Structure formats: structure tokens, C-alpha cells
Amino acid sequence: MDKDMFTAGLDYLATAYNHPVSPALAEIYRDQLAHLDAEPFRHAVRLIVAHDAWFPRVSRLLEVYRQEKRRLASLPPAVAELPAPPANRETARQALTEIRTLLRQKGIVEHLRCAS
């Protein structure tokens, strides 16, 4: 995962939990999480904010990340490539556009039109 994606995830957590992150703490999290894939990490961060009451430790981020990787691995390939669910209304529209584009590229939209 690139530095920008990691920083965005950590900022999202810090803002959601009103938990300032020192440069030293950010470096520890980066050291432990930099090897993760970006999309499952992003989704794990959103799931944690939606369901956990406290700022997550590295171990909790890794646990939810692994759950997300297993979930993605169990999906059919076209579904696994869909972007993570949006965090708010503004990003929902963008996510829907991305999903429509992906479905068109995979030929799924045309197939569905023929079937209906």
C-alpha cells in the first residue's frame, strides 16, 4: 500500500475516534501495516469505525483486514473487484459510477439487459 493510502486510513481513524496520532505512533502503524493491500485495508478501516468503540490497535486492524481478504477471496472474481462500500453520500455516487463502469467492462451490464 502506498504512503498516501496508509496516511488517509490513519487520518480517517484519528478523526473518527478523536484520537491524535503522534509521528512515532504513525511510524509504528506504518511499519506493521505497510505490506497490506490498499482496498482491503481501506474497507477494514471503515468497518472498524462502523463497529468498534475505540481506536484500534495494530492487531485489530490486521484481524479485520484478514477477514476482509477472506471475504474477497470467497467472492466470484467480478464481485471481488468492486470497490469498498462508500463512507458517505458524496462518495456513494462516485462508488456507484465505478461499479457501473466495472460491470460494463466485464460485459455484465449488457448481459443483464438482454436477460430482462
Domain boundary among 74, 90, 106: 74
Local confidence band at 112 (pLDDT 50, 70, 90 cut-offs): very low
Are residues 5 and 57 located together in one domain of the fold?
yes
pLDDT of residue 81: 64
- What predicted TM-score, i.e. pTM, was given to this entire model? 0.65
- Asked if residue 54 has pLDDT above 50, the reply is yes
Are residues 69 and 94 located together in one domain of the fold?
no
Are residues 7 and 62 located together in one domain of the fold?
yes
Instruction: Round the average pLDDT of the chain to a whole number and report it.
Output: 84
Local confidence band at 116 (pLDDT 50, 70, 90 cut-offs): very low
Are residues 37 and 9 located together in one domain of the fold?
yes
Are residues 66 and 97 located together in one domain of the fold?
no
Task: Name residue 4's amino acid.
Answer: D
Are residues 70 and 91 located together in one domain of the fold?
no
Nearest to 112 by CA among 22, 104, 99, 86: 104
Are residues 9 and 59 located together in one domain of the fold?
yes
Are residues 85 and 40 located together in one domain of the fold?
no
Which structural domain, as residue segments, surrounds residue 57?
1-74
Nearest to 11 by CA among 3, 1, 21, 2: 21
Q: Is 4 helix (H, G, I), strand (E, B) or coil?
A: helix
pLDDT of residue 75: 74
Are residues 85 and 55 located together in one domain of the fold?
no
Total domains, the chain: 2
Are residues 70 and 88 located together in one domain of the fold?
no
Are residues 91 and 70 located together in one domain of the fold?
no
Are residues 23 and 53 located together in one domain of the fold?
yes
| Range with the poorest average pLDDT among 32-41, 61-70, 81-90 | 81-90
